[in-house]
Structure 1
Amino acid sequence: MRKLLLSCVAVLGTVGMTALPTTALAVNAPVPMEYWAAPDFMRNVSVSPDGKYVAFIKATSQKGENIIEVFETADLSKKPYRVGAKKMRLRGFQWISDEEMIVNFDQQVSKRIKGFNQGAFQSKIALFSMDNEKFKELSDDDFVLSVTNPLVHDPDHVLMRYAFFDRSKSRRAPSFYKYNVKRGTKSLVLKGNEDIGGLRFDEYGNPRFARKFDMGSQEYVYLYRGPEDKDWKEYFRQHEDDFDLFQYGGLVEGDDSRIYVLANNGHDKVGLWKFNLQTKSFENLVYRRNDVDLVRTLRPANGWENPSKVTGVNYYKETLHRKFFDPAEEAMVNQFKAALPNAGYVTIGSMSRDGKTMIVRNISPRDPGTYYLYRDGKVSKLGGDNPLLAPEDLADVEYIEYTSRDGKKISGYLTVPNGPGPHPLIVMPHGGPFINEIVIHDDWAQMLANNGYMVLQPQYRGSKGYGLEFYKAGFINGGEGGKKMQDDKDDGVKHLIAQGKVDPDRVAMFGWSYGGYAALIAAARTPNIYQCVIAGAAVADNNQQVNYYRDRIDGAARIEQVPFWDGSISPIEEVSKVNVPMLVIHGSVDQRVPPLHAKKYVDELEKYGKNFEYVELKDADHFSNTLFYDHKMAAYPKMMDFLKNDCGPGGL
């Protein structure tokens, strides 16, 4: 395995710009679990501003031990320069000049959490120079530092955020400085102010946008400054209980008095508008859809020349779409998409200042992520996120729509195993629950499909992206967790059974975080359509969870989260009704959903003599991207064995 990890990221030869045909794929034996547990072989792939170097983070072992490899783009056959760390984990980097990059590290410093999303891990940042091949630590024992902006027009400086450690429990607002990477000196740009947050800076390091809260009116007040201004001016107010989106979308090119905003502006679906800062009013609608929300605005592929320009918007439905406003950007992406094998969502992830060298990334159901270097009119394949997985090992993803029992239209993503059905089904609801989910390539869904299971990822009510009414339907009249939100999942199963795609006696649920909560709820439903459930990092006690962060949320989030958890069914109160086998998985340092949830729930399962297994992942945090090889190898084989042998009579 170590040899595979070291060799699979090797730079490959030039590939021709021709599309490859898609053919029917035979059913193969499942790939080893080690393949799914492997860390990303390469990520963070980017070229230096001058195009001389291409660098990426490379995994050197199953443990997720990372280095940065730096190649010369003119000759990829030359031995790369390697940058590593002795004690801390290398987590990411970004180029800030032709020769320098900021590198992020972290390490576990405690076996115990100390509150919501804090206590177990500590991070540091350092400057690395290709010129002298040395690190310079930028972290300070008194500050938590982060890079806010690389200041593309001033390569000697980077804008940094200085936030004080909370040793005395007294809060101090972060300050912002220009840091001179050559001299190691800094100059104040904006002093911390407890009343002002949400700061945005332009590409020159000028503070341009911010937000404060008016205690008297209970409103968020949106502020702006012109490039030469010193004082903040108000341009919009919104009551804290207002769920309409009002989100900065970018500057209108050549016009300091107007910005783009993503907003409902009285409509169910989010659209893109021009907004006049001086008249404090919406102007013309730029683009909106009637079926789904717009998600975010796009910036140029060349982030060094004109990083503030808005070139389009993202939205998603059956896949992730882009509505381009810049024909040249659209043509460039489409040219690569037509040429790359298994093309799906193709992006220009990084580009040199002169536009002649770039990194192209493709991701699709049958491609976990592949990176290409474009230079001098040629495309070279660099490697991929997980080259152990061949296209024929992976499955297609279908977009479906069905109607819930109360008439609401529900969307879903169906990962379909190779070979004829009907298939056993795993329902895999997303976490959140109030998030956007787009399924292009999902490792968990693909792993399950590779082992013969169809996977439904339902976009139940409360999911974002489908309009304001659909999102609010999850909580606005009290929490629908375990109620209508659960019906939406079950009705997806019934829809697939009616279509003959799924065996009605072979259905299970697997979820993580809120998805784990939904799995706990599913285990106690009567009558039960599931043969078993797998619940990972699950909220088991609603009161415990909302009290854990009640003092950290306000405004719309408070109206969303507090009534949701207060009004939804609490799994720990339903344990006596559990009627199917269960596999419960939880990380020992989960900072979002503390492991006490699982321990209390397991105690109740034992009290009532229920059929279950419990797996605790040592030193694992909450989110799936914080699970390392050992965590996955403790969980994945157990999951597959549980589904095959212990999921209902005879297994799934």
Structure 2
Amino acid sequence: MSRKDDTLEPAPARPALTLSYGPHAPQTIECWDAAVPGPARGVAVLVHGGYWRARFDASLMVPLARDLALHGWAVANVEYRRGGNGGGWPETGQDVRSAVAAVAATRWRQSHPGPLVGVGHSVGGQLALLTADLLDAVVALAPVTDTGRTYREGLGENAAAEFFGVSPEQAPEVYAGASPIRQLPLETPALVVHGAVDQRVPVEHSLDYLARARAAGDRTDFISPYDLDHLAAIDPSAQVWPSVREWMDNVPVQAPRLRSKSSA
């Protein structure tokens, strides 16, 4: 059966393998094989959100993992340390960078050629954008792009104050290093998807990020369905998802490059 057939293979019920990339329990990656014959389109690295809180975990991204596998992608669903289970800054950002590097080094990744694309939601979008130099492209779904602004607006029930433990005035370098908008240019193709009705992360954050990224010379595309709320951004039945998959299907493999990241 080709990928163009109307009838898709059943989604895999569970990941093909689980990788550990560090000594701590949350430092794991579930790897899903593509559920179609032939080579995978590439590897999608999923990074969940939850405003850095431990009670939200990688299971949030399992519906997307299954959907992407059905459409020809191998998927690495990343877990990482968060506030309440050993995370903090810069540890949380370092975890995601380590996870992406671990995926890239595996035989599993080598068996699935094609681009390595980060797909992050909410603070997962923040973490994927900050890891862009290790990826061929990034899809940022309702991302947190400015942690200082997140702190000042009290978003996520004061999530930034809870997670960072200091204000932007007390530690400006911490907030700068954790803010994708302060790390431009990205130098990696990116797609930002953000609904106009989103209240958890207002769309104005992404609009400001988009303007700054394009001014810095980045190739950053933007989709903003009016009625897409925050959690619907990770619902594969949302009307926007075919457009997201189409964008991913056209990502080329980039030449390797090294850039320093203050977030790491």
TM range (shorter): 0.7 to 0.9
* TM-score scaled by length of structure 2: 0.77
- Matches for 1:458-469 after TM superposition, within 5 Å: 458-462=78-82
Is the aligned partner of 1:640 residue 2:258?
no
Partner residue, 2:152 = 547
Which of 23, 28, 43 does residue 425 from structure 1 map onto? 43
Partner residue, 1:521 = 130
The alpha-carbon distance between structure 1 residues 462 and 564, as it changes in their structure 2 partners (threshold 3 A), is farther
- Matches for 1:312-391 after TM superposition, within 5 Å: none
The alpha-carbon distance between structure 1 residues 431 and 551, as it changes in their structure 2 partners (threshold 3 A), is closer
Task: Please tell me whether the aligned partners of residues 151 and 158 of structure 2 are also in contact (alpha carbons under 8 angstroms).
Answer: no
Moved over 6 A (4+): 625-629
Which of 532, 535, 558 does residue 137 from structure 2 map onto? 532
Which of 424, 441, 446 does residue 66 from structure 2 map onto? 446
Which of 561, 573, 581 does residue 189 from structure 2 map onto? 581
Measure, in 1, the Cα distance between the counterparts of 2:3 and 2:33.
Answer: 16
Task: Please tell me whether the aligned partners of residues 514 and 538 of structure 1 are also in contact (alpha carbons under 8 angstroms).
Answer: yes
The alpha-carbon distance between structure 1 residues 550 and 402, as it changes in their structure 2 partners (threshold 3 A), is closer
Q: How many residues align?
A: 244
Is the aligned partner of 1:480 residue 2:91?
yes
The alpha-carbon distance between structure 1 residues 481 and 461, as it changes in their structure 2 partners (threshold 3 A), is closer
Q: Secondary structure at the match of 2:194?
A: strand
Measure, in 2, the Cα distance between the counterparts of 1:585 and 1:441.
Answer: 16
Partner residue, 1:414 = 31
- Matches for 1:152-163 after TM superposition, within 5 Å: none
Deviation of the 1:545 alpha carbon = 0.9
Deviates more, 1:611-620 or 1:590-599: 611-620
Measure, in 2, the Cα distance between the counterparts of 1:538 and 1:551.
Answer: 13
The alpha-carbon distance between structure 1 residues 492 and 479, as it changes in their structure 2 partners (threshold 3 A), is same
Is the aligned partner of 1:393 residue 2:10?
yes
Q: Secondary structure at the match of 2:154?
A: helix
Q: Secondary structure at the match of 1:395?
A: coil
* TM-score scaled by length of structure 1: 0.34
Deviation of the 1:562 alpha carbon = 4.3
Which of 210, 215, 218 does residue 607 from structure 1 map onto? 215
Task: Please tell me whether the aligned partners of residues 146 and 180 of structure 2 are also in contact (alpha carbons under 8 angstroms).
Answer: yes
Deviation of the 1:495 alpha carbon = 4.2
- Matches for 1:20-169 after TM superposition, within 5 Å: 29=3
The alpha-carbon distance between structure 1 residues 618 and 440, as it changes in their structure 2 partners (threshold 3 A), is closer
Measure, in 2, the Cα distance between the counterparts of 1:627 and 1:417.
Answer: 19
More helix by share: 2
The alpha-carbon distance between structure 1 residues 628 and 443, as it changes in their structure 2 partners (threshold 3 A), is closer
Deviation of the 1:451 alpha carbon = 1.5
Runs of 5+ in structure 1 lacking a partner? 1-26, 33-388
Deviation of the 1:623 alpha carbon = 1.3
Q: Secondary structure at the match of 1:428?
A: strand
Deviations 1:183-216 (A, max 9, x none): xxxxxxxxxxxxxxxxxxxxxxxxxxxxxxxxxx
Task: Please tell me whether the aligned partners of residues 141 and 234 of structure 2 are also in contact (alpha carbons under 8 angstroms).
Answer: no
Q: Secondary structure at the match of 1:515?
A: helix
Deviation of the 1:497 alpha carbon = 4.2
The alpha-carbon distance between structure 1 residues 648 and 625, as it changes in their structure 2 partners (threshold 3 A), is closer
Partner residue, 2:102 = 492
The alpha-carbon distance between structure 1 residues 563 and 423, as it changes in their structure 2 partners (threshold 3 A), is farther
Task: Please tell me whether the aligned partners of residues 30 and 393 of structure 1 are also in contact (alpha carbons under 8 angstroms).
Answer: no
- Matches for 1:280-295 after TM superposition, within 5 Å: none
The alpha-carbon distance between structure 1 residues 563 and 543, as it changes in their structure 2 partners (threshold 3 A), is same
Deviation of the 1:445 alpha carbon = 1.1
Measure, in 2, the Cα distance between the counterparts of 1:485 and 1:564.
Answer: 23
Measure, in 2, the Cα distance between the counterparts of 1:481 and 1:611.
Answer: 27
Runs of 5+ in structure 2 lacking a partner? 255-264
The alpha-carbon distance between structure 1 residues 30 and 485, as it changes in their structure 2 partners (threshold 3 A), is farther
Task: Please tell me whether the aligned partners of residues 400 and 412 of structure 1 are also in contact (alpha carbons under 8 angstroms).
Answer: yes
Higher relative contact order (CA 8 A, sep 6+): 2
Deviation of the 1:413 alpha carbon = 1.8
Q: CA RMSD in A?
A: 3.4
Task: Please tell me whether the aligned partners of residues 425 and 508 of structure 1 are also in contact (alpha carbons under 8 angstroms).
Answer: yes
Partner residue, 1:560 = 163
Could you say which structure has the larger radius of gyration? 1
Deviation of the 1:552 alpha carbon = 4.5
Deviations 1:268-305 (A, max 9, x none): xxxxxxxxxxxxxxxxxxxxxxxxxxxxxxxxxxxxxx
Task: Please tell me whether the aligned partners of residues 587 and 618 of structure 1 are also in contact (alpha carbons under 8 angstroms).
Answer: yes
Deviation of the 1:638 alpha carbon = 1.9
The alpha-carbon distance between structure 1 residues 604 and 431, as it changes in their structure 2 partners (threshold 3 A), is same
Identity, in percent, stands at 21
Q: Secondary structure at the match of 1:589?
A: coil
Deviation of the 1:30 alpha carbon = 5.5
Q: Secondary structure at the match of 1:575?
A: coil
Deviation of the 1:522 alpha carbon = 2.3
